[in-house]
Amino acid sequence: DAKTTQPNSMESNEEEPVHLPCNHSTISGTDYIHWYRQLPSQGPEYVIHGLTSNVNNRMASLAIAEDRKSSTLILHRATLRDAAVYYCILRDDLSGTYKYIFGTGTRLKVLA
């Protein structure tokens, strides 16, 4: 399973954009990039995923580098409710398995 590297923690001011980086230099051509987040005292929840092109949804945007060795989750306007641990995960869809290997993630602190 290909690994990802994320900073342990980041801080942001409320109402400002946040860019959460993820390095995955050993990514294979069939790995999809998934992001989940875990709010305090809850299980993780899905945020966004993509393969090559940038992706947008109501929660966030995902920017994927051209060589796919890194990606960035973008929260356009951080709110206090966005304070969570964010996990970047690679999933090999073509292997027929759908298991997710979580790392330790980035703990995002949002300052009022």
Partner 1 sequence: DAEITQSPRHKITETGRQVTLACHQTWNHNNMFWYRQDLGHGLRLIHYSYGVQDTNKGEVSDGYSVSRSNTEDLPLTLESAASSQTSVYFCASSAGTGPGGTGELFFGEGSRLTVL
Residues in contact with partner 1 by CB under 8 A are 30, 32, 36, 41-46, 49, 51, 85, 87, 91, 93-94, 97-105
Strands 70-75 and 18-23: antiparallel
Residue 112: CB minimum distance to partner 1, A = 26
Report which of 82, 85, 87 is spatially closest to residue 24, judged by C-alpha positions: 87
In the DSSP assignment, the letter for residue 111 is E
Residue 28: CB minimum distance to partner 1, A = 13
**Token pair belonging to 21:** 């980086």
Q: What SS3 class is residue 13?
A: strand
Smaller CB separation from partner 1, 93 or 111: 93
Smaller CB separation from partner 1, 98 or 112: 98
Residue 39: CB minimum distance to partner 1, A = 11
